[in-house]
């Protein structure tokens, strides 16, 4: 039984080659965007790249709900938008690719780009599984709920990116690290409560009925993701080791196992695969943050 399930993972998740090929293209587009994002942050054009990011996520999400008919079209549009942003940044900053590169710098950057590419899989895998195994109606509903959570997370992301430039001064001080984490927890809690209050209203506007049960689950997800986004740049800046890539891979692996051996076998709502994966990602990230705190100066 276990062996058969593992053999059929590509059918459950990717519907054979159809979704696998599309996700491969989508991942390339996402990697190009991550590169463009890193370039803009390096040039301290944070405000511009955050505006662009909001437009991409906002346009992509709204087009999925209002215009596009299926997940394939959404991934295709999202990929095209990422490629356009990559080309825009390359021409804007006049980036030239040469054969002479700093291998250590490339290695450092690629590991972090890989982490950024893995992160959206946490959201994509439950949706793709729902498309193939549960039905398009539930997949569309789940996609909409995840879209709302991402819109709320966008509030935190610009602040986290801006603080990236001050990360060195933060992780060298126990006082600053403590205050930073405390403020992040408070901000995440406020954001989660705001989501709890407004999400049913937003869902109703778009014709969805978000019950109190799913609303609570999604509010917890908003809190965990918000806290993760708040502190991830500190961890990324602290060491050469790609801790976030490791954490994300572990969370994605757990999510896949949960879907096939819990959700699929015991008829548990697939939304819990996302909840527990995000919980694992957040816990591992906070644990690393605590290590940084212990090693900091007084």
Residue among 183, 32, 48, 45 at smallest CA distance from 110? 32
The total number of structural domains that make up the chain: 2
In a domain, 111, yes or no: no
Residue 91 lies in a domain: yes
Whether residues 173 and 273 fall in one domain:
yes
Please answer whether residues 35 and 113 qualify as being in contact, where contact means their C-beta atoms are separated by less than 8 angstroms. Answer: yes
Is the predicted pLDDT of residue 20 greater than 60, yes or no?
A: no
Q: Does some domain include residue 189? A: yes
- Distance between CA atoms of 147 and 141, rounded to whole angstroms? 10
Q: Which domain holds residue 84?
A: 14-100
Euclidean distance between CA atoms 44 and 293, whole angstroms: 27
Average pLDDT score over the chain: 76
> Is 224 within a domain?
yes
Q: Does residue 223 sit within a domain?
A: yes
Span 258-267, pLDDT tens digits: 887 777 676 7
One domain, residues 297 and 164: yes
For 253, half-sphere exposure in the C-beta direction (CA atoms, 13 angstrom radius) is 6
Same domain, 146 and 53: no
Q: What is the pLDDT of residue 6?
A: 39
Q: Domain ends where: 85, 100, 115? A: 100
171 Cβ contact partners less than 8 Å away, ≥ 6 residues apart: 177, 234, 237, 238, 292, 296
- Residue after which a domain boundary falls, among 78, 100, 122: 100
For the cut 90, the answer to whether the pLDDT of residue 180 exceeds it is no
List, for residues 22-73, the tens digit of each pLDDT value: 666 766 777 777 777 767 766 667 677 767 777 776 666 666 656 665 666 7
């Amino acid at each position: 039984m276990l062996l058969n399930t593992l053999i059929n993972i590509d059918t459950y998740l990717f519907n054979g080659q159809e979704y696998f090929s599309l996700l491969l293209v989508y991942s390339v587009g996402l990697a190009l965007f991550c590169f463009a994002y890193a370039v803009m942050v390096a040039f301290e054009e944070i405000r511009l790249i955050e505006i662009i990011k909001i437009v991409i996520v906002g346009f992509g999400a709204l087009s999925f709900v209002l215009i596009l008919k299926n997940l394939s079209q959404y991934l295709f549009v999202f990929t095209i938008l990422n490629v356009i942003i990559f080309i825009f940044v390359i021409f804007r900053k006049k980036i030239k690719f040469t054969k002479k590169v700093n291998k250590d710098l490339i290695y450092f950057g690629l590991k972090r780009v890989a982490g950024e590419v893995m992160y959206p899989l946490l959201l994509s895998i439950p949706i793709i599984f729902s498309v193939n195994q549960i039905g398009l109606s539930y997949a569309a509903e789940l996609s909409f709920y995840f879209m709302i959570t991402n819109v709320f997370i966008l509030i935190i992301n610009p602040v986290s990116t801006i603080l990236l430039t001050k990360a060195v001064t933060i992780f060298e001080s126990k006082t600053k690290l403590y205050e930073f984490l405390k403020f992040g927890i408070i901000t995440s809690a406020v954001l989660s409560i705001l989501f709890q209050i407004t999400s049913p209203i937003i869902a109703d506007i778009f014709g969805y009925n978000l019950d109190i049960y799913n609303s609570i689950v999604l509010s917890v997800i908003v809190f965990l993701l918000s806290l993760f986004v708040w502190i991830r740049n500190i961890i990324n800046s602290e060491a050469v080791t790609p801790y976030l890539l490791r954490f994300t891979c572990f969370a994605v692996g757990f999510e896949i196992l949960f879907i096939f051996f819990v959700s699929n076998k015991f008829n548990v709502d697939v939304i819990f695969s996302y909840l527990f994966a995000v919980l694992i990602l957040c816990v591992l990230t906070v644990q690393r943050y605590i290590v940084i705190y212990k090693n900091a100066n007084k």
